[in-house]
Amino acid sequence: MGSNLPELGKLPPEMFEEIIYRNLGKIRKEVVVPPRSGVDFGVIEFGEFALIVKTDPLFIVPEYGWERSSWFAVHILASDVAVSGSPPMYAAVDLNLPKKMKKEEFEKMWKGISDECKKLDIAVVAGHTGKYEGTDYPMIGGMTFLSITKKDGYVTTQMAEPGDTVIMTKGPAVEASGILAAMFPEILEKRYGKDFAERAAKIFYQQSVYADAMTLAQIGLRTGVTSMHDATEYGVWGALNDIAEASGHGVLVYENALFYDQDVKKVFDLFSELTGEKADIYSAISEGTMIATVKEKKTEEAINVLRKNGIKAGVIGKVTEESGVFLKKEDGSEEKIDRPAKDPFWSMFFKASNLKKHSSL
């Protein structure tokens, strides 16, 4: 019944359908957005208000540096709540610390998490802390972020409608290139020089759609922006398929409207070459890239408000009546774009780590 569990990464949608979605405890009518593939958060409505809820692993990678790692751990969750259009307000944190973690490391990590939460106006309200056998980086616990808003004060990927414009921010592979640049700066410096390696390291801090979502929400939720989604695993193609599946509609993408950040592509192409992956940049994990759908009459306002706030953005397609994601090529033909079978980042990362270990790069 079904396929085996994947070796790494999120479970495929069919396993959610087969195992998780059939077993969700008691069904309560106030849970209006239960767990669903392609939807970033859950929603509980009570009276005139809605509670937005999101849980993720507490993801800490010491090799990033404690400050960077803490920032990333907060923004993974903050992004998934922010795409509702309502900012995260409260946090519950479970810390299952590895035995090898030292007090000074714990202090740096926790202070980093607290400082970033403070910047985003998030209060830590509950949690658990302990040190245990069998735990190790990067998954050392979990965090839940919550937000309270009015009943109509949020959007989900289910709300995208035919005729809506599809907007992308930043371009693809932000997370893939940001992590590769942070972990292997010597490789970039050897090929492109110190100045580029230092510039590429800053891509790391683009791995958040908090600002993208909060900015776009200014044009109006549901009346302007109808859905927002963070392009994490499987990248832009995965995010577009998520929106299509969650909304029950289709997406037509214009090949000549797709764009990417030059530094991101330079990093991605180098590691693709060195690891022999020949990877598709639009299939790579991209925390920090937001895919949004907007009412056609609000498109110009949406692009203007994003660019005014320093966020690169462009129209890449539209929502259609048909199901599935299709790429309209420059010659006028159309190609169906399925959810990628794998995300190339993981292979690139582990191959680069292995090559570095054996001084082959």
- Mind listing the pLDDT tens digit for each residue in 122-139? 999 999 999 999 999 999
Tell me the per-residue pLDDT of 338-358, one tens digit each, with 9 for 90 and over: 999 889 998 999 888 887 766
* 113 found inside a domain: yes
What number of other Cβ atoms are within 10 A of residue 10's Cβ?
14
Q: Tell me: do 118 and 214 sit in the same domain.
A: no
The one-character DSSP state at 18 is: I
* CATH code where residue 347 lies: 3.90.650.10
> What per-residue confidence (pLDDT) applies to 242?
95
Instruction: Please provide the DSSP assignment of 260-303 as one string.
Output: --HHHHHHHHHHHHHHT----GGGS--TT-EEEEE-GGGHHHHH
Are 121 and 163 part of one and the same domain? no
Q: Which residue is it, tokens 């959810």?
A: 339
Residue 44, classed as helix, strand or coil, is strand
CA–CA distance, 284 with 177 (Å, rounded to integer): 9
The per-residue pLDDT for 3 is 65
269 and 290 housed in the same domain: yes
pTM: 0.94
Confidence check: pLDDT of 6 > 80? no
Which pLDDT score is estimated for 16? 83
- Taking only the tens place, the pLDDT of each residue in 242-291 is 999 999 999 999 999 999 999 999 999 999 998 888 899 999 999 999 99
Task: Indicate if the pLDDT at residue 1 is higher than 50.
Answer: no
Last residue of a domain, one of 150, 165, 185: 150
Residue 288 lies in a domain: yes
CATH value at residue 44: 3.30.1330.10
Mean local confidence (pLDDT), 140-169? 98
CB 159 within 8 A of CB 57: no
Average pLDDT over every residue of 326-332: 95
Cβ 62 vs Cβ 105: under 8 Å? yes
Tell me, yes or no, whether 115 and 145 share the same domain.
Answer: yes
Residue 270, domain member (yes or no): yes
Q: Is the dihedral of CA 334, 335, 336, 337 positive or negative?
A: negative
Query: Is the separation of the CB atoms in 251 and 243 below 8 Å?
Result: yes
Mean pLDDT, rounded, of the chain: 94
- Is the model's pLDDT at 360 over the cut of 60? no
